Structure 1
């Protein structure tokens, strides 16, 4: 898929098929996050790739809107040291979007989630107490329809959002 097509096709996927995602594709997706920019090139992140079904089910219980993680082929936990700086969260956003685009390029869907119970997420993943599991990304093949460029996205009107020169 071309980059522009991947940008237009990417959507939040919360229901997945049973088809596994290959290790090569998972590595490519995580490498996109690893390659993403960070403030002063600090790279204050760690990524934990999870494919074990029991762990995925347990991770889904760390936030009220994380149920899709249980049905994903994989999840990527995005981890930050504590305390983290506001720029670290921005950097995780960039890493997340890079992973989402890399996945879309492969025809693989993603759905992001926050984490509410950080202690539980740390315990499930073996993350040290000095770090927090900030976000998770469900990864898998969409159950409803394949990823394709979306012609009319459900977005605010472009001219209402984009201002040129002044507000």
Structure 2
């Protein structure tokens, strides 16, 4: 059941886009908690839940966190950023399962944000030492991804009528390739 003021599921799906330019406006705690709850409830292989979330809202810390990857400059301008943290997995199978589960948590977080009219933009993490220091992570954990959040500076999220995606009949194969 969605909030009365929230979007319908299809509207959230069709409105979600990568937002990397944010209005200087905080995200209310109740909205941030709802977004985090969506991540917590994400599907997970064998209910493993190989994630923890570190939420950063401090402007100075966000600016420092934006240095973990050359493509993460939008993190500095976000109202909040969620760091998706997972264990350091030596086993390739565990790494693959964790990555799949983290992808599901990412999408749940992004759709919940879109439902609330909050933009999101993901970022990779190249400098694990910096991320570990800034986030206070133990040595057996690493930051897999960052999801920056904020109210879109360019106006509210709306369903995208012509998304920059391959046509459905090119993507979908029925019964065989």
TM tier, smaller: over 0.9
Match of 1:109 among 119, 123, 126: 119
Q: Give 5+ residue unaligned stretches, structure 2.
A: 1-6
Query: In the alignment, is residue 96 of structure 1 matched against residue 102 of structure 2?
Result: no
Q: Distance in 2 between matches of 1:26 and 1:2?
A: 19
Q: Distance in 1 between matches of 2:8 and 2:44?
A: 24
Match of 1:61 among 48, 67, 75: 67
Corresponding residue SS for 1:61: helix
| Residue number in structure 2 paired with 1:43 | 49
Match of 2:83 among 41, 55, 77: 77
Corresponding residue SS for 2:19: coil
Q: Distance in 1 between matches of 2:50 and 2:162?
A: 37
Give the Å deviation of 1:157.
1.4
The 5 Å alignment of 1:3-18 reads 3-18=9-24
The 5 Å alignment of 1:136-155 reads 136-155=146-165
Q: Distance in 2 between matches of 1:63 and 1:85?
A: 21
Give the Å deviation of 1:126.
0.2
Q: Which runs of 4+ in 1 moved over 2 A?
A: none
Corresponding residue SS for 1:14: coil
Query: In the alignment, is residue 123 of structure 1 matched against residue 133 of structure 2?
Result: yes
Q: Give 5+ residue unaligned stretches, structure 1.
A: none
